[in-house]
Structure 1
Amino acid sequence: MWENDPKLEAIRRVRNFNYQDLIDISKDTLPGYDEKLKTFYQEHMHADEEIRYILAGTGYFDVRDENDRWIRISAVPGTMIVLPEGIYHRFTLDERNYLKALRLFVGDPVWTPLNRPQEGHVSRHKYVSSLDMAAA
């Protein structure tokens, strides 16, 4: 079980994740399910990292490559995904319409999506600069 997983605990310590909660995405468990899915699928970024550890179900995180084309990342049980602050992304479920994930945070949790475009936002600048440095 994830609650007693020593690898997950080690990641929490190393990355300083001090807050976590569970999100259970299904029509039966998530209030405002249809609106939430629309919000998740709208291309956006966050001012903090987005960290998810998938416990059940399947979904997809879409991110942009250097040519602004979509890259689809399958999120299945056991997947941990860390989206850097400032990266444009979106999320959707597969045809089973269910996913349960542990959300991990450093500091106080912030769930505010910043819809594209956000080119002037400090987090977007930080992300784009990190790509420029990696390419050099």
Structure 2
Amino acid sequence: MAVIKIRNTGEWIKGHENVGSFLEKQGVLYEHWDVSKLPSHLKETFVLSDEEKEEILAIFKDDIEDLAARRGYKAWDVVALSDATPNLEELLKKFEQVHIHTEDEVRAIVAGHGIFIIKGDEQTGYFEVQLEAGDVISVPEGNPHFFTLMEDRQVVAVRLFIDPSGWVAHPYEEKEEAVQ
């Protein structure tokens, strides 16, 4: 289950209802999928074949289609990151730059975990959403954010898109405040 850390105060927000309520106020979608249906051979596998990625998409087909129908997503895929990922350091450097997109950035974590750092409202500032398997998040179009891995550097996530070819990170420059 996700937990949130408000960077400028050090406050932690825990518990499904509290996390969901906070994120809703920030305009961020948060849901939870049942990852217990993931077979054991995929629960701790962070290097996936194309067949295993397709298996994950088939397992979560109903969840994906439900979210896609509600939010207008037209395509999806699976991404797996770990120390075995070629050029992981380069990817992380790219991910760890504050940016925006011209559509939502959606991740459904099915194994491992990761962190979204999101710019909240003026009072909140930046906050971290530490995601675990089952957590689903959608950072709204135009909302400054970045993604990184936790210390063990392992995640498998379903990504949903309106237009995968248009899902490009655009750098975001802070006007007055810095990412804390």
Same-fold status (TM-score > 0.5): yes
CA–CA separation in structure 2 for the residues paired with 1:7 and 1:106: 16
Change over 3 Å in CA distance of 1:10–1:39 after alignment to 2: same
Structure 1 runs, 4 residues or longer, greater than 4 Å off: none
CA–CA separation in structure 2 for the residues paired with 1:118 and 1:86: 13
Which segments of 5 or more consecutive residues in structure 1 lack a partner in the other structure?
Answer: 120-136
Amino acid at match of 1:59: G
What is the match of residue 107 of structure 2? Answer: 52
Among candidates 59, 68, 71, match of residue 12 of structure 1: 68
Change over 3 Å in CA distance of 1:40–1:93 after alignment to 2: same
What is the match of residue 131 of structure 1? Answer: none
Question: In the alignment, is residue 107 of structure 1 matched against residue 156 of structure 2?
Answer: no
CA–CA separation in structure 2 for the residues paired with 1:98 and 1:106: 26
Number of aligned pairs? 118
Which segments of 5 or more consecutive residues in structure 2 lack a partner in the other structure?
Answer: 1-37, 39-55, 176-180
Among candidates 66, 78, 93, match of residue 149 of structure 2: 93
Q: TM-score, normalised by structure 2?
A: 0.59
Among candidates 83, 87, 93, match of residue 38 of structure 1: 93
Listed one character per residue, the Cα deviations across residues 53-83 of structure 1 (whole Å, up to 9, x for unaligned) are 1111111101112227211111111111101
Question: In the alignment, is residue 62 of structure 1 matched against residue 122 of structure 2?
Answer: no
Among candidates 77, 83, 103, match of residue 27 of structure 1: 83
Among candidates 67, 74, 81, match of residue 137 of structure 2: 81
Identity of aligned residues (%): 30
